[in-house]
């Protein structure tokens, strides 16, 4: 358990710097940004903790070893000698996936077949294309590297949200955009187009210090080296106290009911407030100013463009008139829609992949 391995936290491209920042804040040593994620050197215990604690990662991949192979016969022979039993159990089905790049072994399907057969014939584990547990085989420059996907279902599936509306914001993206706006759990958050409630719920969980992975199961629980007692010790049941409240409104009554139900399931019903209101009637809640966080309709997501420009203009006007002292974070794939708000946005960061689009986070300082 003390052996250090490369552990890769995958995230949406464009969010690597924000995830690296979260890793440092969560106590992971020397996170290194890589395309599509962040890498650390760590132990299996670090991989377990990452699944429970990281809000911005999509999955946690653990590199378990590898070797050089110039052709399929060599891959077959060396894969059979690999110590699969140190990580995999003979009674748990696995799925094998392979990628080949700049290597003499260039056929990913054939490589997948050889590794899968080696695991099945040497260890006895069933091979199943629908298995939750995945062995990832990467062959690059004739070097074969094996990794285990320790997560299973992606980490944005927190395990307590059932209802989602059209074009929802995934929880891990919401967490990273909140962090990108400087949110740390010490101010209120209000989403005036809350949909299924993702931003207020995520913000409330952060304020309470709740683990994002507290309600779900992980693929790592099916590994040979899994220690249930040690893992249970990493789960935190406690919550910090907060006097803050987290707010959402939407013009759709169905979205409000959805948000309330999701907040209850997440255990943050007591500190979230949702109400029906069109954008033209939004007003700041009582209490200190904080962060207005919005994922409005845009581009390929929803609807008629002219109506979207009018909506963004109305939103910006209302925020400037009513929300003095509040910061604003807005996500869109079109700079024109952001500009239509008339809000004094700061320079933007890198585009982020979201649902087949490239979106950006637009931020303001506190509004005058």
186 burial via Cβ count (<10 Å: 0-12, 13-18, 19+): exposed
Q: What is the DSSP letter of 178?
A: H
Would you call 132 helix, strand, or coil by DSSP? coil
Average pLDDT of the chain, as a whole number: 94
Domain residue ranges of the chain, discontinuous segments joined by +: 5-149, 171-210+220-363
At residue 1 the predicted structure's pLDDT band, cuts being 50, 70 and 90, is very low
pLDDT at 222 over 70: yes
Distance from C-alpha of 181 to C-alpha of 203, rounded to nearest angstrom: 12
CATH 3.40.50.150 assigned to 171-210+220-363: yes
Q: Over pLDDT 70: what percentage of the chain? A: 96
Q: Which CATH architecture has domain 5-149?
A: 2-Layer Sandwich (3.30)
pLDDT in tens, 299-323: 654 556 778 999 999 999 999 999 9
pLDDT in tens, 327-336: 999 999 999 9
Distance from C-alpha of 40 to C-alpha of 16, rounded to nearest angstrom: 13
Stretch (H or E) spanning 75: helix 72-81
At residue 197 the predicted structure's pLDDT band, cuts being 50, 70 and 90, is very high
pLDDT in tens, 345-360: 999 989 999 888 899 9
Helices (H), 40-81: 44-53, 72-81
Phi-psi region of 27 (alpha: psi -120 to 50; beta: other; left: phi over 0): left
- pLDDT average, residue stretch 281-301: 89
Report pLDDT for 355: 81
At residue 159 the predicted structure's pLDDT band, cuts being 50, 70 and 90, is confident
pLDDT at 244 over 80: yes
β-bridge partners, 254:
none
Q: Which tokens sit at 75? A: 């891959």
Distance from C-alpha of 153 to C-alpha of 146, rounded to nearest angstrom: 19
């Amino acid at each position: 358990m003390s052996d250090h391995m490369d552990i890769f936290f995958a995230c949406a491209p464009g969010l690597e710097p924000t995830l690296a920042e979260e890793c440092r804040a969560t106590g992971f040593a020397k996170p290194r940004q890589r395309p599509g994620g962040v890498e650390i050197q760590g132990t299996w215990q670090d991989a377990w903790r990452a699944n429970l604690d990281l809000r911005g990662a999509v999955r946690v991949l653990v590199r378990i070893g590898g070797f050089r192979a110039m052709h399929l016969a060599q891959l077959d022979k060396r894969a059979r000698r690999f110590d699969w039993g140190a990580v995999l159990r003979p009674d748990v089905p696995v799925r094998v996936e392979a990628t080949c790049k700049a290597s003499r072994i260039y056929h990913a399907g054939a490589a997948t077949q050889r590794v899968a057969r080696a695991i099945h014939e040497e260890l006895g584990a069933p091979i199943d294309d629908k298995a939750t547990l995945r062995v990832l085989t990467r062959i690059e420059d004739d070097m074969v590297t094996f990794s285990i996907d320790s997560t299973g279902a992606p980490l944005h599936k927190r395990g307590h949200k059932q209802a989602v509306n059209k074009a929802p914001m995934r929880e891990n993206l919401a967490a990273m955009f909140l962090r990108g706006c400087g949110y740390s759990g010490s101010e209120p958050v209000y989403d005036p187009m809350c949909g299924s409630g993702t931003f207020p719920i995520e913000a409330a969980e952060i304020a309470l210090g709740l683990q994002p992975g507290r309600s779900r199961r992980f693929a790592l629980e099916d590994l040979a080296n899994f220690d249930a007692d040690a893992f249970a010790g990493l789960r935190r049941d406690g919550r910090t106290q907060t006097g803050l409240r987290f707010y959402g409104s939407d013009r759709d009554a169905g979205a409000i009911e959805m948000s309330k139900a999701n907040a209850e399931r997440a255990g943050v019903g007591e500190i979230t407030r949702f109400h029906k209101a069109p954008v033209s009637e939004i007003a700041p809640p009582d209490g200190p100013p904080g962060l207005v966080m919005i994922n409005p309709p845009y581009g390929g997501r929803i609807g008629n463009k002219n109506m979207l420009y009018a909506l963004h203009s109305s939103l910006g006007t209302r925020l400037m008139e009513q929300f003095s002292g509040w910061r604003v974070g807005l996500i869109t794939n079109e700079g024109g829609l952001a500009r239509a708000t008339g809000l004094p946005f700061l320079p933007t960061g890198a585009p982020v992949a979201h649902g087949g689009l490239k979106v950006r986070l637009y931020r303001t300082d506190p509004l005058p």
